[in-house]
Amino acid sequence: MDTRVRVGLLSAKNTILIFMAVPNEIIQTKELYELFAKHTNQSKFFKQLVKNNHTYRHVLRFFGNLSMFATLLLAQIILYRESSLLSLLIFPAYVYLQSGVIFSLMVHSHELSHDHIKVKWLNDTLGIISGAFIGLNFYSFKYAHQLHHVNIGNLDAPEIGAPVSLRGRQRLGQLDVHSRLLQIFRKNKLIAYLITWPVHLYHGDYASWVLPFRIKKGIHLGGLLCFLALLTVNTALLLSFGLSYLLLYLAPVFLAGTGILMLTFLHHAHEDSIFFDTKHHGRQALMMFTTDRNYGPIGNFFMLNNGFHIPHHLNPMIAYYDLQKASEYLQKTIPAELKYNYYKNSNLYRDFVDGIYEQRLDHDPEYYQLKYLGR
């Protein structure tokens, strides 16, 4: 649909809302975002991007990531045997690069949770492998992530670490894991983010790393076999190389997991975020509480373009390799009266530290909810 037509529709919608004397300007803006999102999803450009989701590209990149992981690991092991001092000097660079590869594998679990590969057994097999590889239950993650897409911005279904209103915390219950973690985040935010990634895996809806093959109604045989295979490989490497292997594997896994948490925070909490109760929640008003961040060619490569998060929430069936194109299209077509939360020249760690300490949303997580709810 032509941009001018879309702007006309939005203006007409706004006029109707004003005529009806809708009392809350925030709700009016939210509905404009929802209308824009609806028309964008119906555009030829977005429909073409969805059609461009090809199985072979996901499969090739997945096995490419596994090959990169194996290559880096073996190279570091060989280097350690040749010169322990040299391998120690190179170790920080190894951890950083390997964490980027593992980060990509984590994002594969995210992509496959949306069934991007049309062949279900292949989609789930790769999802199980990428999940078990880093201690994540693919089926638990898939279920929780789909809830995330439905509930984003909803006060009544907040996620771990997200701003929650007083009423929201009361509904969750003070003994709820989410509430406990929220208290930790508010007191020691940066430190807590660095040490609570395993807590997310163990306690959150996203996983059961104790039973990574468990599903809602029993045990998934393929997941169990995959888990046992990976456990066998890791045990053999551990027995062969001991502490060295723990450092070579767990150190980059830990860094990658922390990076995923940072990315999650940056894309679902910003200074303009406004969270709604059930009555006014609209899952299409995504640009009000989602961001796009351009991490540059290298960052985007390792993150599978996950930094371009608005188009992903607008249409989860757009493949990772087309998300930047979708973001550029949205920036060109969005009406002037609406804001697109795009951050160029982003850096994951710098932006995270800035966001933790500088965003009003973080300093006063109840500000927007209390203002909106009239408390």
pLDDT in tens, the chain (375 residues): 444 444 444 444 443 333 333 246 777 788 888 899 999 999 999 999 999 999 999 999 999 999 999 999 888 888 888 887 888 888 899 999 999 999 999 889 889 999 999 898 899 889 888 887 777 778 777 877 877 788 777 766 655 444 444 444 444 444 444 445 555 555 555 555 565 565 555 545 444 544 556 666 667 777 677 777 777 877 887 788 777 777 888 889 888 888 887 888 788 766 666 667 677 777 777 777 788 999 999 999 999 999 999 999 999 999 999 999 999 999 999 988 888 889 888 888 888 777 666 554 444 444 444 344 333
pLDDT reported for residue 161: 41
Is residue 184 within 8 Å of 192, Cβ to Cβ?
yes
Vertex 249 angle, CA 245 and 253, to 5°: 160
Residue 293, φ and ψ in degrees, nearest 5:
-135, 125
CA distances from 304 to 47, 110, 155, 247 (A): 21, 10, 29, 25
pLDDT reported for residue 190: 57
CA distance 156 to 316: 23
Max Cα separation, the chain? 77
Q: What is the CA radius of gyration of the chain?
A: 22
Alpha helices in the chain, H assignment, sequence order: 3-19, 25-41, 44-51, 55-82, 84-112, 120-133, 138-151, 166-172, 177-187, 189-195, 197-203, 221-241, 243-268, 296-302, 309-314, 323-333, 348-358, 360-363, 367-373
pLDDT reported for residue 290: 85
- DSSP per residue over 27-94, as a string? HHHHHHHHHHHHHHHTSHHHHHHHHT--HHHHHHHHHHHHHHHHHHHHHHHHHHHH-HHHHHHHHHHH
Kindly list the domain boundaries of the chain, sorted by start residue: 3-23+40-373
pLDDT reported for residue 100: 92
Is residue 156 within 8 Å of 277, Cβ to Cβ?
yes
107 token code pair: 């994002």
CA distances from 145 to 108, 112, 113, 205, 243 (A): 13, 11, 7, 9, 34
CA distance 7 to 13: 10
| Cα torsion 138, 176, 154, 294: sign | negative
The one-character DSSP state at 318 is S
Interstrand relation of 214-215 and 218-219 (parallel, antiparallel or unpaired): antiparallel
